[in-house]
Amino acid sequence: MKPLLLALGLASTLACGGSIYQPSRVANFDPDGAAEVNDEDVRKAFEAKPQLGDKFNVAYFSFDASKDGDVEKAVREVPGVSSVYAIPTLEATGKHRYDDAPTTAPLSMKKLRLLAARAHADVLVVVDYSRKTEISVNALAALNVFIVPALFLPFRDVKVESAVDAFVVDVRNGYMYGHVALTQQQSKAHQTIYSDDDAMARDEWTALRGELSGALVKLAQAEREERATKGPGSHT
């Protein structure tokens, strides 16, 4: 009886569980900077108008620095982008490259706009990537009465969900050009403990990167079409 319980316990340990990866939480991101908001900010938000020209400079901040290259490619694919500047994590949050400790000081959109302004950018793009992995056992787990079968039986069911949120903001006045929300999800049944769950996340990110590029292009095109229809400076 004890070996059986031990084996089942091992199977549960190896199979059940999950994880959440959310770098913006570690960065203590507070988009509106609640402590900074006052009536003057609200008034300015109502008065803000789009100022996107035919050519514009972009600064972006990605909470996951490992995705910077892909994010920059997505931004450069937008017609009209003249230059792209990546806001360094150290400058934005004070976090060093190998520091995993949560940031105590909140990071707001205002601060990111200031950093973008220092680079003479017209538009700020803030990209948040996160993923969630869920692992459960299937009926084959009942066969794990010994340790050896647990090492080879496909008794794990894996689900991975990835998400991207992107904010596109005018650096000068904070006008929100748009918010992009994207998700990808995969599920694989009957996986062994050796299955590459991270490969599912990588595939999802590849798809999300393409969707992000398309969404940014659509935002820029929609703004140009509205400007062409109403005329420059006629946004209400």
Listing DSSP states for the chain in one string gives -HHHHHHHHHHHHHHSEEEEE-HHHHTTB-TT-TTT--HHHHHHHHH------SSEEEEEEESSGGGHHHHHHHHHTSTTEEEEEEPPHHHHH---TT--SPPSS-B-HHHHHHHHHHTT-SEEEEEEEEEEEEEEE-GGGGG-SSHHHHHHS--EEEEEEEEEEEEEEETTT--EEEEEEEEEEEEEEEE-TTS-HHHHHHHHHHHHHHHHHHHHHHHHHHHHHHHHHH-TT---
Range from 153-157, 163-167, 183-187 carrying the lowest mean pLDDT: 153-157
Q: Which residue has the higher pLDDT, 90 or 152?
A: 90
pTM equals 0.78
- Residue 6 pLDDT > 50: no
Q: Which residue has the higher pLDDT, 190 or 88?
A: 88
Mean pLDDT, all residues of the chain:
80
Supply the pLDDT for residue 154: 64
Q: What digits encode the pLDDT tens for the residues 91-106?
A: 888 877 777 666 667 7
